[in-house]
Every structure is written in structure tokens, then in C-alpha cells.
Amino acid sequence: MTLFIEHGAPVIVQGMTGHQGMTHTSRMLNAGTHVVGGVNPRKAGTSVSLHLDASDTETSLPVYATCGEAREKTGAQASVIFVPPRFAKDAMLEAIDAGIKLIVVITEGIPVADTAYCVELALQRGIRIIGPNCPGLLVPSAVGEGNDNLGIIPNGIVGSGPVGLVSKSGTLTYQLMGELADLGFTACIGVGGDPIVGTTLLEALQQFEQDDNTKAVMMIGEIGGSAEQEAARWAKEHMSKPVVAYIAGFTAPEGKQMGHAGAIISGGKGTAQDKKEALEAAGIAVGKTPAQAATLLRQALDGDGEA
């Protein structure tokens, strides 16, 4: 079955012509992602030249005026968005209107009202948004060639294996990928650190539960909101696979935004301690450190089926 994205699906990049977009498009291509073009109305008709490390050659990607045109000409099934915050709403709406089924929003700093609008519209149309303010989605190839890497997750840390990983944080994702690199992953998804995101921890768990290849899930949360509690409640009722968690921010003070827009304890709500307790009450083991969480996940995999 398809986990988030069909293997080798054509991908476009909105904001490809910018510095960040260009750097990461190149990385995605080198990871084996099937990037087929970019979108920028002011540079439509031009192309962007990118270096392929494996063959030491240059490849040229076309720039289209709109997502609609890009989809028509390339059959793009997914888009990765790198545009600055003030243009992000229009970029998301354009991708939604073009009927692109998976939209990964890397941009940090998008007004939450803009995100809320786009996420609601996407949900109504059966379109998945991942992010914003996230590292994206990595689906290591099970056949050994060409990872589907949509975003900025570094390639080369992990290969294919039985673990599903879902996280609110970018670098903690890499940390846990590193800790569990020998096991490998079905997919690593960074859902983002904003107060409203297109794919929640719970919705990611639902996908992993349905995926036959995923045998256990590592979930990384942090202070703010109650996405961890909601995921825990759902997992307790519906999840047949073991879930192990790590939560960051036990030392975070009340009322201070800790980097991510959504990482804030307000009115005593959203503390790491509350989340830990809710997860444990749902039978989800919580590691004190990323390393301990990795150990717990190994144990859960070994005792497969009984968790």
C-alpha cells in the first residue's frame, strides 16, 4: 500500500528558483526524488540547472507559471513549498486548486489564519497538507533506489525498514533517525511545529497503522497544544502496533514560545509532563532522552505484537 506518496511519483517545487528552493531541489533530486519542475509566474518558460552528484552531470528543470500548468504538463502528484511566509497562502491555494494531492509546506512563519484556511480547504477536497514549518517527508525506497524525499530531511541517514517516525521537530527527527538507522524506516514525517498543521500526529499514526510494512512507530512531541494527547487517545483505541514516544520541553517555562510558533505552555496547558502522563496512560512508553526512546522502540519491536 502507499504510505503518503506513491514511489517515484512526480513532484514539483513551489519556490524552486529561490536560493533555499534551489539548494533543496538539488538535494531532493540527488536523493532520487522524481522532481519534474518548479513554479514561478515571473520566471515561467525558463529552466533551472541543477547538479546531479551520482552522474556528475547537470540536469535542467522547467519552470511553469502555475501549479495547474505544471500538473497538466508533468502529472505532478505532490508539491513542496519553499516560498516566503507572505506568499505561502497563495501558493497553498494554487496547489489545492490544481488538485495536487500532497502538499508539503516547509516555510516557517506563516500566519496561523492563513494556514487554518488552507488546511480546512484541503481537508474538504481530500488533499493532504504536511506542515507548515516542518522538515517534510522522507519515504526510503524499499527497492533500494530513489528515495521519495520531499523537503529538507537529510538523505543518507537511513534506509528502508520497519519503523514509522512522526515528529513535531526537525532536528529531533534526524536525531532519532540516526539512533535507529540500523533498523530503517517505512517513512519519516515531520508534521511541523506550528499551532495548526495539515497532518497531525494522530493522522500520521492512522497512516502508519494502515501500512503493513510499518511494525512500530516512534512519535516525537514537544510542549504546546494537545496533539500528543489526542494521538494517545486514538492509539489506545485503534492502534495494533507499538508506539513509543519522546517529548521535548520538560524545562520550558510557562508563557514563553520555545522556537516553534506552537511550542508554548499557556494557562498551564501543554506541558511536557501532561503529555507524558497522557501517553503513558494510553500504554505508550515515553523515553527520558532520545537515546532512551530509541532503546524502548527496539524493545517494542522485539516484543512485536504484545505491546
- Residue 52 or 116: which CB sits closer to other proteins? 116
Q: Is 192 in the site for other proteins (CB under 8 A)?
A: no
- Residue 83 or 172: which CB sits closer to other proteins? 172
Number of amino acids touching other proteins (CB under 8 A): 62
What are the grid coordinates assigned to 24, written together? 533543496
Q: How far is the CB of 64 from other proteins (least distance, A)?
A: 26
Which residues between 7 and 26 bind other proteins (CB under 8 A)? 24
- Rounded to whole angstroms, the maximal C-alpha distance in the chain is 57
Q: Is 185 in the site for other proteins (CB under 8 A)?
A: no
The pairing of strands 185-190 and 136-139 is: antiparallel
Q: Is 75 in the site for other proteins (CB under 8 A)?
A: no
Total H helices, total E strands in the chain: 9, 14
- Residue 36 or 261: which CB sits closer to other proteins? 261
DSSP string, 94-122: HHHHTT-SEEEE--S---HHHHHHHHHHH
Among 80, 196, 216, 297, binds other proteins (CB under 8 A): 196
CA 226 to chain CA centroid, nearest Å: 18
Whether residue 260 lies in the annotated active site: yes
Among 139, 217, 227, 231, binds other proteins (CB under 8 A): 227
Q: Is 125 exposed, middle or buried (0-12, 13-18, 19+ CB in 10 A)?
A: exposed
What are the grid coordinates assigned to 53, written together? 552528484
Among 86, 283, 302, 304, binds other proteins (CB under 8 A): 86
Q: Please answer whether residues 93 and 121 qualify as being in contact, where contact means their C-beta atoms are separated by less than 8 angstroms.
A: yes
Q: Which one of the spans 7-15, 47-55, 57-65, 226-234 is the region binding other proteins (CB under 8 A)?
A: 226-234
- Residue 244 or 272: which CB sits closer to other proteins? 272
List, in sequence order, every residue forming a beta bridge with 189; answer none if it has no partner. Answer: 137, 166
Q: Is 188 in the site for other proteins (CB under 8 A)?
A: no
The residue annotated as part of the active site, out of 7, 34, 51, 260, is 260
Cα(first)–Cα(last) distance of the chain, in Å? 24
- Residues contacting residue 306 through CB under 8 Å, at least 6 positions apart: none
Among 169, 186, 207, 214, binds other proteins (CB under 8 A): 169
Among 41, 253, 283, 303, binds other proteins (CB under 8 A): 253
Q: Is 228 in the site for other proteins (CB under 8 A)?
A: no
Single-letter code of the amino acid located at 216: A
Neighbours of 85 (CB within 10 A): 14
Among 53, 72, 120, 304, binds other proteins (CB under 8 A): 120
Q: Please answer whether residues 27 and 157 qualify as being in contact, where contact means their C-beta atoms are separated by less than 8 angstroms.
A: no
Among 26, 74, 167, 207, binds other proteins (CB under 8 A): 167
Q: Is 81 in the site for other proteins (CB under 8 A)?
A: no
Q: Is 172 in the site for other proteins (CB under 8 A)?
A: yes
- Residue 76 or 139: which CB sits closer to other proteins? 139
Angle ∠(152,202,217) on CA atoms, nearest 5: 70
User: What span, in angstroms and rounded, lies between the C-alpha atoms of 28 and 11?
Assistant: 10
Active site positions, annotated: 260
Interface with other proteins by CB under 8 A: which residues?
Answer: 24, 85-86, 109-113, 116-117, 119-121, 123-124, 135, 152-154, 157, 167-175, 178, 193, 195-196, 220, 222-223, 225-227, 230, 246, 248-253, 255-263, 267, 272, 288-291
